[in-house]
Amino acid sequence: MKNLENVQTGRLSTERREFLKKSGAMALMSAFGVSFFTSCSSDDDTPNRPNDPPAPSTGISVQGSEITVNLAEATALASSGGWALVSAARVLIVNVGENNFNALTSVCTHARCDNSWQFANNVFTCTCHGSRFSTDGTVINGPALQPLRSFPTELDGNTLKVNFG
């Protein structure tokens, strides 16, 4: 009777083991990218450096169901045609001119995308599937069929408030 199993045993040389370790690590880094292996670092890993400047303020804060915008700091919104996507609240804000602002949900009524927006020529475009909306949320062209929900805004001096609740 013929033995169908061919079993070989042995040990890899130290040089061969080192080569396989290094080439395996290189293959993983190539497949996932170096950022995959470094992305889990945290600020706790670095010592406190008192001379680091504080992070700049965006001028936009979200508390509960209210967005507060300091237009002196949020300069993109301070002028007509300026806009912002407030991801934490899933809200688009646009300055439509003459101290008037519109606030709309950033959740597209077509496929529920909420972070993929462009704004040009007074038109919001959801870049997921190309639906286009006017600054008041009306559908200009689909595939979306329903308008974007709008939220009340209130301007008091340089402070804009949006109630999205």
Least confident of 18-27, 85-94, 98-107: 18-27
- Dihedral sign for Cα 122, 126, 129, 134, please: negative
- Whose tokens are 């001119």? That residue is 97
Beta-strand runs (E) in 9-158: 60-63, 66-70, 83-86, 91-97, 100-105, 117-120, 123-126, 132-134, 139-141, 150-151, 153-156
Binned at pLDDT 50, 70 and 90, residue 87 comes out as confident
pLDDT 10s digits, 12-53: 456 655 665 666 655 545 555 544 444 444 444 444 445 444
pTM over 0.85: no
Dihedral pair phi/psi, residue 162, rounded to 5°: -125, 125
> Which range (2-16, 62-76, 90-104) has the least confidence?
2-16
More confident position, 79 or 113: 79
Q: In the chain, what percentage of residues exceed pLDDT 90?
A: 27
Contact (CB, 8 A) for 86 and 161: no
What is the total residue count of the chain?
165
* Nearest by Cα to 140 from 128, 148, 152: 148
85 DSSP β-pair partners: 92
